[in-house]
Structure 1
């Protein structure tokens, strides 16, 4: 129990520090966007490449873990779609609002997941989360784009555009590059390894500070059925799906913990941008992200403790 809380508390405190800095106005909104881009396009790829290159994937149940994550995503997608008629008839949830509920229920914050995996599981945890990146990000992007196009009347990009966006995603291409170097078996030159290490060491703290800066605590004053539904599905139901499928596939130890981490973190921050671009309910998406991040401080420790 102490190990779980000792791993989570530093991450939560850094998130809080980012929110305090943002509220003090020491860094402006545009400046935060620049910091986020540095973390997303430079620091996190460096961390992932170095970790994947040094990982012995024969010792990791990558296939079983990927299957558990993918099955969990499909199960949550089916449940959310099944709830759509009820949400519309009972609470008047229109298409754009439902698309934000769907994003809130299915997507994951990779920054938070990697930080917690690193604190709780060390280098092996980051390697396992790299497996989750490959298994989850392409699938979640495609599913959520299709749902937004159907329910938010957004204009869906073509298959070529989706493939290009996925190829340009730094978390995906850095994992792919790391895998290629790992398979080739040629060790990184010392200067390259040291460079990646320096950049990677900055990735998690900067990424988590940016998560805190993006929180809009004023949104918590406007709770409602849509906000509650997305929060319960993501923080309570999704970890259960992950746990059940992980058990079904025989996962345990670090792999089981990695699945629970990936399933129990809040939704992705860029879901707000996607909602705004494709006609979803962006203000609701901001509320969902804030509520989930705040409550995850309670639900994530419970999920990890119950899983073990």
Structure 2
């Protein structure tokens, strides 16, 4: 019963924030323009601040986990290749293939990873998860661009891909945080307090905005691809990579981080990227909406099972 309560408490706050955002949109309290502006603010100010602060406050000996980082990076590559195999076999149209493949491998780890780990282990353990973002974000960005370029028949611009990674505020914040951590640069109390306050805003606001953007639009012609993408994203991928992580010997915070990398819903950023790069934006938005909704239950089950067998 205790593990059930812990699992419930870890997931439900995020669900409540998303429902609140959805209700805000229904009441007309946020226009689409306002949603876009706040979302931009979250990803360019609040989330980078959260990442910086969590890395800065990390125990450096605990955060240095090369085995964990190697597993996550290797797992993302394998997940991407598996998604390509499934997408190519299941769909003949290139634009739909690109949206499906991105939807099956690209996770919303940033929004789901940190709050879940903090709920389970406290802020002291969030540094490991924050460090993982330095691996996860560039990997997802590069592979997503390659995927969408491949399945619209255009030539891949390596320069543009690298420029996008270098300019990504989450990547910049992660490396600045690591610089402060490794060089042991102290931050004055008044400044640390201000940074901490901004960091506390990030997750609730990001999930509220995600809820506000949540729209269920079932398109009949996409139902087969949508169902397949949901099954692969929320069942097949986590089952493969979380089970492998258990047999590899990962436990506690490390295993929880791996679980969120591979069990989190499809990243919200998949939609604007699909739309901009000529992929099927409707299918992309449906995959995001349904995986986000269903993941509240599947992630709860993962946490409960792993707690029950004493692995986290």
Asked whether the equivalents of residues 70 and 135 of structure 1 are also in contact (C-alpha less than 8 Å), the reply is yes
Match of 1:118 in 2: 118
Give the Cα separation in 1 of the matches to 2:222 and 2:306: 29
Instruction: State how far apart, in whole Å, the 2-side matches of 1:201 and 1:70 are.
Output: 28
Distance 1:287 1:33 in 2: 18
Q: Does 1:46 align with 2:54?
A: no
Q: Deviations over 1:140-185 (max 9, x none)?
A: 11112111111123453x2222122111111111010000000111
Q: CA deviation at 1:60?
A: 3.5
Give the alignment of 1:250-261 within 5 angstroms.
250-261=249-260
Extract unaligned runs of 5+ from structure 2. 308-312
| SS of structure 1 residue aligned to 2:217 | helix
CA contact (8 A) 2:112 2:260 kept: no
Name 2:282's counterpart in structure 1. Answer: 283
Q: Which moved more, 1:174-183 or 1:68-77?
A: 68-77
- For the 8 Å contact 2:42–2:202, the answer to whether it is kept is yes
Cα distance between partner residues in 1 of 2:64 and 2:305: 21
Deviation at 1:40, TM superposition (A): 0.8
Moved more, 259-268 or 238-247: 238-247
1:72 is the counterpart of 2:75: yes
Q: Spell out structure 1 runs of 4+ moving beyond 4 A.
A: 220-223
* TM-score (norm: length of structure 2): 0.91
SS of alignment partner, residue 266 of structure 1: coil
Relative to structure 1, the CA distance from residue 107 to residue 84 in structure 2 (aligned partners, 3 Å threshold; closer, same or farther) is closer
Q: Secondary structure at the match of 1:224?
A: helix
- Matched with 1:148 is 148
The answer (yes or no) to whether the contact 1:75–1:241 under 8 Å persists in 2 is no
User: Mean Cα displacement is larger for which, 187-196 or 67-76?
Assistant: 67-76
How many residues align structurally? 303
1:248 deviates by 4.2
What is the alpha-carbon distance in structure 2 between the residues aligned to residue 217 and residue 18 of structure 1?
Answer: 14
Shift of 1:50: 1.4
Give the aligned partner of residue 177 of structure 2.
Answer: 178
Contact residue 100 and residue 285 of structure 1 kept, 8 A: yes
Q: Matched residue of 2:36: which SS? A: helix
CA RMSD of superposed structures (Å): 1.8
